[in-house]
Structure 1
């Protein structure tokens, strides 16, 4: 029994809702494909309404939409190339067993070369050889119908269904992170923890096909780091570190009044709220400068208050220059979720909202630094018998 249990694959936990979503996608995809085939009987000339391997393609498209094996080029290129190789082998190799073996082998090799690996395509290569006289008589027409047309139809269904049900498809590779300061230094998050180069080295050492693209793996490791951080630092939430007495403005507030609040509270950002106190935007001192009538010849000779008095049209409204929508965080979100936003995305402050999107506070970079320092200090204190932290640990 122990060996039997070890043979059962340890699948990633999936909710019942996700299971139903996948089943619904497969049902709709195959059903629509069959209906298209039924309407096109005259064009098929005896070919099957459905190509059986497309059922396996449907599982990949709807259950694993982020997999590199389920991307548009993988299914369309893999299926049509493999079918063409199968037809060629059936025509030019008289011995059926050898023809089938060569078709399967060559299709896999070509899919590796063309970067369109798709497991069900191997079955199409064999189907072209072993599918019977009707398929053999169709020749390379089999590649167009039902393989090519069926693959394209299934792709269209997957594109619409996955995106409508909250699954991004196709899964486009993310662009490389860019240093906002336009220097050669890596971004802050790349300087600590798992680096992109570390992932590349491990993948080269692993040397196996992985049913997850590189971007998804990197995102998985980032989430793992965040989870480990939450466990170590006690899951400190935004509600614990945020400022609750927050100065705010509305879209109708004049820039003159906004500037007074900046100076009065010595702050650099003001959340913009609606009449029912929902966070709808944010205005910063940088926004004021960006929308001012800046004169390069005199600008460097003036301080920020002088710029505000002389070149900013203070009669304008906050709603004209505010950033909207604004990136917010829930008050029950863990502090670690703010680190990438402030480290790489360049945010200096994040408004905190409740479940109804009502503004309840704000977290600044200073709040985050203090929280991280506090968390590190607590861990070091707990790890020492006397609970004291040496001065060298906090310098």
Structure 2
């Protein structure tokens, strides 16, 4: 019964997701993500009010939760990867903006001028402190037009309840996203680095667009994007990689792998592993357990780092499935560390390996074939 109910719910979600009214405004969003965001906002706002009530002690002169927290919850739970939804913008942006609003309310008597100055100066303050957060404008506005209770609080208002609200909401957001299997705070994409510690640019960055190209495109677009510079770089490189896979999807890993694989058992000595590496003129050996399943790999680098041990060092194996597109192995074989990708079945039994040489030879033939196919015929 539960299975049938879950199946029906997935069908309904799929049907709603296909309707234009439910189409996501933001790229990458799904109806499931939005439902999770709704649940997170429900839990986050309710618990924030409850915890803040305990912290304030039920003071009737102070609001339990300020209105800008509703907007912060939208960002925190619906678009947690946004730079505007990270912990410092939520806490710092709301608190600093409320402080600006209180200061303006004390210094400017004209309410029309005060509301405009509060929001504009809040934007400036958040920009200078790298805490830009849209609800911060509402926090500044609340500090000016919040009524007698906010006015009596004075400069305590940015701390109680604004800062307390924001801190509780962020803490609950971290817990909720962890339980939901999401990463929060968002970790920006890490740019490839040269693993050999030389001045050369990493291989993945030597061909194609550069950082200067991205900067030029952003400047030409003349728009502020709600995505970090590093995430945009990583996204564009992933698009480039996906396009390459699509263009060469017919060539599978099984078509290019070497099948006569030299392996070593886990109970062998480092000396035996080194002998096999040198004898066969290879750099990496798959390590198998007693049942013949892959448990890791070892190379000259690992052996050199473990010269004083009698046990075979085991490094994490870089693996692939035989049905994968061969060009999908490019990131794994150009990271500066991996020399082979071990091809396994679902039971982790070794079917073959694809070395850098295997992939390079295959790509060279593919490029040559493509050049031949596109060369104009003489008349």
Q: Give TM-score, length-normalised by structure 1.
A: 0.82
| Correspondent of 1:196 among 190, 211, 235 | 211
Match among 44, 47, 53 for residue 32 of structure 1: 47
Q: Does residue 1:85 correspond to 2:100, yes or no? A: yes
Long gaps (5+) in structure 1: 294-312, 389-395
1:51–1:146 contact (8 Å) kept in structure 2: yes
Confirm whether residue 322 of structure 1 aligns to residue 314 of structure 2. yes
User: Which residue in the other structure is 2:5 paired with?
Assistant: none
Which residue of structure 2 lines up, in the alignment, with residue 63 of structure 1? 78
| Of 209, 227, 248, the match for 1:233 | 248
Q: Distance in 1 between matches of 2:210 and 2:48?
A: 44
1:360 and 1:136 mapped to 2: Cα distance?
Answer: 73
TM-score (norm 2): 0.85
Q: Tell me how far 1:32 sits from its aligned partner.
A: 1.4
2: CA distance between counterparts of 1:41 and 1:289?
A: 61
Shift of 1:350: 1.6
State the SS of the aligned residue for 1:192.
coil
**Number of residue pairs aligned between Structure 1 and Structure 2:** 357
How far does residue 117 in structure 1 lie from its aligned partner after superposition?
0.8
Summarize the Cα distance change of 1:39–1:182 in structure 2 as closer, same or farther, 3 Å threshold.
Answer: closer
Q: CA RMSD in A?
A: 2.6
Which structure 2 residue ranges, 5 or more long, are not aligned?
1-19
Shift of 1:52: 1.8
SS of corresponding position for 1:139: helix
Listed one character per residue, the Cα deviations across residues 35-74 of structure 1 (whole Å, up to 9, x for unaligned) are 2133345254422222221121112112222211112211
The reply to whether residue 137 of structure 1 matches residue 155 of structure 2 is no
Distance 1:46 1:332 in 2: 66
Structural mapping, 1:374-389, within 5 Å: 374-384=365-375
Comparing 145-154 with 369-378, which one deviates more in the overlay? 369-378
The change in CA–CA distance for 1:118 and 1:370 in structure 2 (over 3 A counts) is same
Q: Distance in 2 between matches of 1:176 and 1:157?
A: 30
Shift of 1:85: 0.9
Distance 2:373 2:61 in 1: 75
Change (3 A) 1:79 1:336: farther
Which range moved further: 12-21 or 119-128?
A: 12-21
